Amino acid sequence: MAKLAFGYSPTHPGEVLKDEIEYRKISQRKLAKQMGISYKTLNELLNGRRPLTTNTAMMFEAALDVPADSLIRLQTKYNLQQAANDKLFMERLNRIRKYAAVL
């Protein structure tokens, strides 16, 4: 199997959303209230400390008209890059590949 490489660092969707709400001059507290989530949850997401879920992506789409599928693709690429940078996990994958090669 080919080695996973992007050639760039994928962007956490929270970074894109944070730029969008700053551009629109929407306060995080107001947006969190509108979406029915806590300020802490929203802030963690916007700062890349929490992953974006499908439900949350759909809520952002409803609140900001940012396509949920685009946000989910960003999150997936980010997750793949994070996993690829995890040395222990990559060692595990290599052991699995070696075992699978003899099957």
pLDDT tens per residue, range 19-58: 999 999 999 999 999 999 999 999 999 999 999 999 999 9
Evaluate if residue 5 carries a pLDDT over 80: no
C-alpha dihedral sign at 54, 55, 60, 66:
positive
Record the tokens describing residue 25, joined without a space. 């001059």
Length of the chain: 103
The pLDDT of residue 7 is above 70: no
Q: Say whether pLDDT at 101 is over 60.
A: yes
- The three-class DSSP label of residue 44 is helix
Which alpha helices (H) appear in the chain, and where do they start and end? 13-23, 28-35, 39-46, 54-64, 68-84, 87-101
Say what the pLDDT of residue 96 is: 96
* 1, amino acid identity: M
Distances in whole angstroms, Cα of residue 15 to Cα of each of 62, 84, 96: 18, 20, 34
Residue 98 token pair: 């070696």
Q: Which residues contact 68 (CB under 8 A, 6 or more apart)?
A: 54, 57, 58, 60, 61
Domains and CATH numbers, the chain: 13-101 (1.10.260.40)
Asked if pLDDT for residue 99 goes beyond 70, the answer is yes
Task: Return the pLDDT at 75.
Answer: 98
- % of the chain at pLDDT higher than 70: 93
